[in-house]
Amino acid sequence: MDLKAGKVFWKDTFEARKYPMLDEDLSCDVCIIGSGSSGAHCAYFLAETGLNVVLIDKRDISEGSTVANTGLLQYSNDKTLTSLIHSFGEEAGTRHVQLCLDAIRTLETEVVPSLKENPDFKIRKSLYYASNPKDVSKLKEEYSNLKSSNFPVEYYTKKEITENFRFQKKERWLQIMMLKSTPINMHIY
């Protein structure tokens, strides 16, 4: 299955490790199929518990959809906290976002320092804005929900945008922490 189309950035900018083809039977506690971001993170954390973990993939490491990703991990995902609250309730929605934030902090404070090589892990801020005036109220609601749940978030007015950034937008901005890392670097260990 082709999980990507067009030219992908990571294959041209980073040389991933190559591993030999599996040509013998192995015994393990856990076998994870798929060496992308999810598989690699699962393998790392399961191995940390003392389990004998094998990670396999029919492609080279991170050659599936992971090679086509942006390299960004955000605690605020495709679905906003507001949307999660509407779908699953305040407690479950907030818990989901908190677990995502905790996962990023675990990567920053535990996983990255334990790696032998530098994965180019950096904490960055992410800006969300309302491109349409009718969306400003949604942005304000999302900010309010994040702030009331003590997530690291700031709200910028047009004046503050002009004072803090080199670009200008007519509408408001919402700033949320995110992380940037070369995706292949984060899962070759």
- In this prediction, residue 90 has a pLDDT band, given cuts at 50, 70 and 90, of very high
Residue 176: the pLDDT is 44
**Residue 8: count of CB within 10 angstroms of its CB:** 14
How far is 111 from 100, CA to CA, in rounded Å?
Answer: 15
Residue 187: the pLDDT is 34
How far is 147 from 59, CA to CA, in rounded Å?
Answer: 42
Q: Highest mean pLDDT: which of 14-18, 136-140, 169-173?
A: 136-140
- Residue 41 near residue 66 (C-beta atoms within 8 A): no
Residue 9: the pLDDT is 59
- Residue 125 near residue 177 (C-beta atoms within 8 A): yes
Residue 13: the pLDDT is 67
Examine the pLDDT at 110 and tell me if it is beyond 60. Answer: yes
Examine the pLDDT at 81 and tell me if it is beyond 50. Answer: yes
Least confident of 52-66, 72-86, 115-129, 166-180: 166-180
Backbone angles phi, psi at 67, to 5 degrees: -65, -20
**pLDDT, tens only, 10-53:** 666 666 677 888 889 999 999 999 888 888 889 989 999 999 99
Residue 4: the pLDDT is 52
**pLDDT, tens only, 142-153:** 889 999 999 888
How far is 114 from 133, CA to CA, in rounded Å?
Answer: 46
- In this prediction, residue 188 has a pLDDT band, given cuts at 50, 70 and 90, of very low
Crossing angle of helices 81-88 and 90-106, in 10° steps, is 140
Q: What is the mean pLDDT of residues 144-171?
A: 77
